[in-house]
Amino acid sequence: MTRAEEWRSALDEAGELDASAAGRLLDAHGSRAARAIEAVGERRVKEYRDFTVVVGHRAEYVVEDGACTCEDSQYNLDPTDPEALCWHALAVEIARRVDAVDHHDMWYSDVRDFL
């Protein structure tokens, strides 16, 4: 079992982000996991009708099917490695597994018009 499979399995079994799952996440993804855990704890993973968005400190990032619009994802990660995820994509995976997604019954494209 890969390290990513271990943390996913630990989250699925616990149904919450406990110390064991957090440790496995940190082992597999280091500082990216720490940022993702922080974002989930602060309820910064938002799901709209059209996109899932992670609110960062400088911008909001769209995450779709594990792919993210951030520069880290575009320039620093190996696109052929399914375990190489930016912290935004990690936050979405974690939030979904522990039911910590902030759901909004509206279109993100409509929200962007207000910003």
Q: What is the pLDDT of residues 43-61, one digit of tens each?
A: 999 999 998 999 998 999 9
CA distance to 21, 48, 66, 69, 94, per residue, from 10 (Å):
5, 27, 19, 27, 11
Residue range 16-38: mean pLDDT, rounded: 94
* pTM, entire model: 0.91
Side-chain-side CA neighbours of 100 within 13 Å: the count stands at 23
pLDDT band at residue 85 under the 50/70/90 scheme: very high
